[in-house]
Amino acid sequence: MTKTLYVGNLPWATTEEELVAAFSQYAHVVSARIITDRETGRSRGFGFVEVAAEDAEAAIAALNGTLLGGRPITVNEAQPRQRRF
């Protein structure tokens, strides 16, 4: 079982490898992805990290509010996307 964590307020230059490195100190990381703008390809400043379910709470507690690339990041459990009409 895995849980997906939302990671917000990321510096534009953050890479998926940097997310994996930061989270792997506290959790078994399954995958990480930075969300990019469709037109420009530039980071939108947030991403998602999929971790082992049993490690999710520890990763949130350890990393929420910590600095990554000089910016305090927001980490919480990802919510299902709302449908747009």
**Domain regions of the chain by residue span:** 2-77
Residue 81: pLDDT over 90: no
Query: In this predicted model, what pLDDT tens digit does every residue of 15-48 receive, in sequence order?
Result: 999 999 999 999 999 999 999 999 999 999 999 9
What residues contact residue 64 under an 8 Å CB cut-off, 6+ apart?
A: 73, 74, 75, 76
Residue that wins the pLDDT comparison between 83 and 71: 71
Residue 83: pLDDT over 90: no
Residue 82: pLDDT over 90: no
Residue 85: pLDDT over 80: no
Q: Report the percent of the chain where pLDDT is more than 70.
A: 100
Q: Exposure string (b/e) for 7-41, b if CB count within 10 Å is 16 or more?
A: beebeeebeeebbeebbeebbebeebebeeeeeee
Does the domain spanning 2-77 belong to CATH 3.30.930.10? Answer: no
pTM check: above 0.85: yes
